[in-house]
Amino acid sequence: MNNSKTCYGMTYFDENDLKETTINHRVELEYYKTQKDTKDDFKYGIEIRKKEYINNNITIESNNIENISNSSDKVIEIINTLKKYKVTPVGLNDVLEDLLKAN
């Protein structure tokens, strides 16, 4: 069984996204499609990583959900939606649940 992941995009919070917060440092989001090779097929999942650059330190927060679908295209479509709306690791579970219910 092999596991791999591929980055499908990156975005960041700009000053408009952060104007109603106290955050004044760079925040980046990375979106990955994960792949688990099983005996019979592939299972795809999603990982989101949030990197915050505070002074000379980088903090990383991530969340990973495996086995979302057997369809790579479906997972890539979901990732594009997550990226468009700048979903963070903490919001992944709830947003993914809503997206899967809608389909």
Average pLDDT over residues 39-64: 92
Give the residue carrying structure tokens 């955050």: 23
Radius of gyration of the chain (CA): 15
pLDDT score of 2 more than 90: no
d(CA 99, CA 5): 21
pLDDT score of 15 more than 80: no
d(CA 62, CA 21): 21
pLDDT score of 13 more than 90: no
Residue 47 is predicted with a pLDDT of 97
Give the start-to-end residue ranges of the domains of the chain.
3-102
Which is it for strands 26-37 and 57-69: parallel, antiparallel or unpaired? unpaired
Average pLDDT over residues 3-11: 92
